[in-house]
């Protein structure tokens, strides 16, 4: 079976953007490939080194969501990056052959430096994170990496670094990882921007009861529809992005028929949505609670996965040292 690798920074509880954008895809991939999914805790340090004490708890909260959604440790290797020290060793070795210009022209680096104003990211680790990312992937000889269109340039950089290693050391040891493009419905946050914990606009997988109700009923609707009697247009409605994912065909048909003639009010329309989201999340939340009440089980799963990953990573790094002539 071909190998797939993907990781996630430990940001704590995950939201519906993660559920539909990443986790459902990861879950499907684990039936077709040998999947390695990791907690990118060193990557978290590249920007959040001042709040490193939050990483452990965020890891537990995040992996509880992974497991609840259906990532299965029997099928996939779930592990923590910092528990496999070989990632750091390969990162160092690759950093020696990676031209500085490749990192400085990385669009995400430039974009984040412009956007992130509330923390100092003028650090060496942040500039070099694509090299660490490359080490994360090629250390397992992963053939595929699931990515969205916006991440294609990152993967291209990893391919270039792998190619450069092979060229300099006259080997074909590393394979160049290929993207598996993920096609998913983009879910906006409750304010219309990209759903993100840092924008405070997320609906979390674990949200329920009054919290969930408040968020769903406050979703922005068609802003042209000021009064209940005004006709609306679902395509101009932020909430309708969620309806399209959660509601049945019949419900969507009814909304498309009634909304434009003001036959249904936004409150009632969002009540239908609330019911469907609650139904979809309930079984996931039930599983999540079981895991979160037994944090040691989560840590054991990650320990076991990390040990499994380490065996492969060590073989790779031993071989790399041999190739570059550092085997004593």
Closest separation between CB of residue 278 and ligand SF4, Å?
17
Per-residue H/E/C for 240-258: HHHHHHHCCHHHHHHHHHH
Contact between 176 and 256 under an 8 Å Cβ cutoff? The reply is no
Residue 237 binds ligand SF4 (CB under 6 A): yes
Closest separation between CB of residue 281 and ligand SF4, Å?
20
Q: Could you tell me which stretch among 101-109, 124-132, 221-229, 286-294 binds ligand SF4 (CB under 6 A)?
A: 221-229
Distance in angstroms (rounded) separating the CA atoms of residues 91 and 313:
12
Residue 255 binds ligand SF4 (CB under 6 A): yes
**Host H or E run for residue 146:** strand 144-147
Q: Rounded to 5 degrees, what angle do the CA atoms 154, 155, 159 make?
A: 120
Among 239, 277, 284, 320, binds ligand SF4 (CB under 6 A): 239
Closest CA relative to residue 37, chosen from 287, 296, 281, 308: 308
Q: Which residues make Cβ contacts (< 8 Å) with residue 191, sequence separation at least 6?
A: 199, 201, 220
Residue 240 binds ligand SF4 (CB under 6 A): yes
Per-residue H/E/C for 194-220: ECCHHHCCCCECCCCHHHHHHHHHCCC
Closest separation between CB of residue 230 and ligand SF4, Å?
9
Residue 234 binds ligand SF4 (CB under 6 A): yes
N residues, the chain: 328
Closest separation between CB of residue 252 and ligand SF4, Å?
9
Closest separation between CB of residue 260 and ligand SF4, Å?
8
Among 221, 285, 306, 316, binds ligand SF4 (CB under 6 A): 221
Judged by beta carbon, residue 273 or residue 323, the one nearer ligand SF4 is 273
Residue 38 binds ligand SF4 (CB under 6 A): no
Instruction: Name the residues that contact ligand SF4, by CB under 6 A.
Output: 221-222, 225, 232, 234, 237, 239-240, 255, 259, 264, 266, 269-270
């Amino acid at each position: 079976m071909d190998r797939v690798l993907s990781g996630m920074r430990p940001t704590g509880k995950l939201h519906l953007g993660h559920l539909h954008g990443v986790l459902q895809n990861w879950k499907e991939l684990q039936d077709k490939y040998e999947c390695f999914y990791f907690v990118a805790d060193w990557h978290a340090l590249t920007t959040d080194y001042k709040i490193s004490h939050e990483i452990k708890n965020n890891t537990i909260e995040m992996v509880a969501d992974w497991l609840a959604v259906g990532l299965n440790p029997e099928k996939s290797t779930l592990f923590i990056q910092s528990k496999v020290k070989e990632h750091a060793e390969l990162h160092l070795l690759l950093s020696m052959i990676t031209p500085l210009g490749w990192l400085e022209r990385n669009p995400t680096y430039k974009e984040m430096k412009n956007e992130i104003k509330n923390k100092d990211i003028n650090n060496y680790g942040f500039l070099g994170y694509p090299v660490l990312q490359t080490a994360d992937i090629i250390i397992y000889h992963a053939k595929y990496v699931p990515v969205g269109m916006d991440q294609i340039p990152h993967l291209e950089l990893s391919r270039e670094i792998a190619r450069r290693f092979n060229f300099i050391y006259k080997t074909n040891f590393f394979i160049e990882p290929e993207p598996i493009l993920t096609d998913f419905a983009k879910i906006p946050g409750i304010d219309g921007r990209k759903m993100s914990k840092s924008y405070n606009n997320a609906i979390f997988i674990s949200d329920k009861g009054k919290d969930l109700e408040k968020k769903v009923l406050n979703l922005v609707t068609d802003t042209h529809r000021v009064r209940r009697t005004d006709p609306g247009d679902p395509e101009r409605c932020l909430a309708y992005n969620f309806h399209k994912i959660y509601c049945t065909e019949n419900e969507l048909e009814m909304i498309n028929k009634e909304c434009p003639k003001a036959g249904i009010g936004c409150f009632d329309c969002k009540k239908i949505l609330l019911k469907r989201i609650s139904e979809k999340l309930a079984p996931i939340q039930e599983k999540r609670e079981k895991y979160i009440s037994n944090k040691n089980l989560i840590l054991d799963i990650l320990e076991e996965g990390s040990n499994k990953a380490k065996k492969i990573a060590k073989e790779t790094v031993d071989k790399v040292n041999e190739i570059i002539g550092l085997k004593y």
